[in-house]
């Protein structure tokens, strides 16, 4: 009993002096980035951005470009997997299986930009296609994107936790990924690209750019996010913050 009293007497003053000792992380997020040269500037800028985002919002961030971290044992340590620019065809079969298991267990997945490169266009010869991932993305295949340019995002669903704090519309510069068709029949569309605000490669008409597949508990895809300038766009910062917090929520 005396030892317990002594422990409490020592601990309480420490907490009063440094309340961060008592702070508990809400969850841990693994941010897995692409090693592609095309994304090198984004990758450099994203590390301090996500570390600050985590610090400001009480979640722990582990940031890496080592795809070997995608395995069952390591993923047990995380509630959220942020797939930043990393294409599904750039990870091995065993890593694909581990990520699929992680998602199907109800964990959170935030896919950004290049994470949505579905289809066989970039698939190496004699490589098995990960059909599950295409279905996970709403059954769409990536189509070559237009030139990098400024355009407008139209926030369609402002009831979802990931988009509820966004304005109805916001401008951003990006590559404006296109797909062979709209995923709308299979997903919950949160925001679309206003095709009148930029020059398309092949107009989609209905052009979702942010969506979630509600067959999975905490999945969100954000098609915009090619260039480091997005980290200076307040609406995009809010989007990533709220999307990650939602993906990590219980």
d(CA 168, CA 155): 5
- Convert the pLDDT of each residue in 28-57 to its tens digit: 999 999 988 777 888 889 999 999 999 999
On the 0-12 / 13-18 / 19+ scale of CB atoms within 10 A, 124 is exposed
Does the structural domain 22-247 have CATH classification 3.40.50.880? yes
| Domain residue ranges in the chain | 22-247
What is the per-residue pLDDT for 10? 47
Is the CB of residue 41 less than 8 Å from the CB of residue 227?
Answer: yes
Closest CA to 230 of 112, 137, 130: 112
Tell me which of 72 and 124 has the higher pLDDT.
72
Cα–chain center distance at 66: 17
- Convert the pLDDT of each residue in 232-244 to its tens digit: 999 999 999 999 9
* In the block, residue with structure tokens 């994304």: 39
- Convert the pLDDT of each residue in 115-171 to its tens digit: 999 999 999 999 999 999 999 999 999 999 999 999 999 999 999 999 999 999 999
């Amino acid at each position: 009993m005396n030892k317990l009293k002594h422990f409490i007497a020592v601990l309480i003053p420490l907490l009063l002096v440094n309340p961060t000792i008592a702070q508990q992380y809400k969850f841990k997020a693994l941010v897995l980035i692409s090693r592609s040269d095309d994304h090198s500037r984004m990758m450099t800028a994203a590390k301090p951005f996500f570390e600050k985002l985590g610090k400001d919002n009480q979640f722990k961030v582990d940031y890496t470009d080592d795809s070997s971290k995608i395995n069952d044992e390591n993923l047990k340590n995380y509630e959220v997997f942020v797939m930043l620019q990393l294409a599904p065809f750039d990870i091995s079969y065993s890593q694909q299986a581990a990520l699929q298991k992680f998602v199907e267990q109800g964990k959170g997945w935030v896919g950004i930009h290049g994470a949505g490169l579905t289809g066989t266009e970039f698939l190496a010869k004699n490589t098995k296609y990960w059909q599950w991932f295409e279905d996970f993305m709403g059954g769409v295949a990536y189509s070559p994107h237009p030139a990098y340019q400024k355009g407008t995002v139209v926030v369609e669903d402002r009831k979802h936790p990931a988009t509820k704090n966004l304005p109805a519309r916001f401008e951003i510069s990006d590559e404006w990924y296109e797909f062979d068709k709209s995923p709308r029949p299979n997903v919950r569309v949160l925001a679309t690209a206003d095709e009148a605000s930029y020059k398309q490669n092949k107009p989609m008409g209905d052009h979702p750019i942010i969506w979630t597949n509600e067959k999975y508990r905490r999945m969100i895809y954000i098609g915009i996010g090619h260039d480091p300038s997005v980290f200076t766009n307040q609406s995009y910062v809010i989007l990533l913050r709220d999307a990650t917090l939602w993906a990590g929520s219980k």
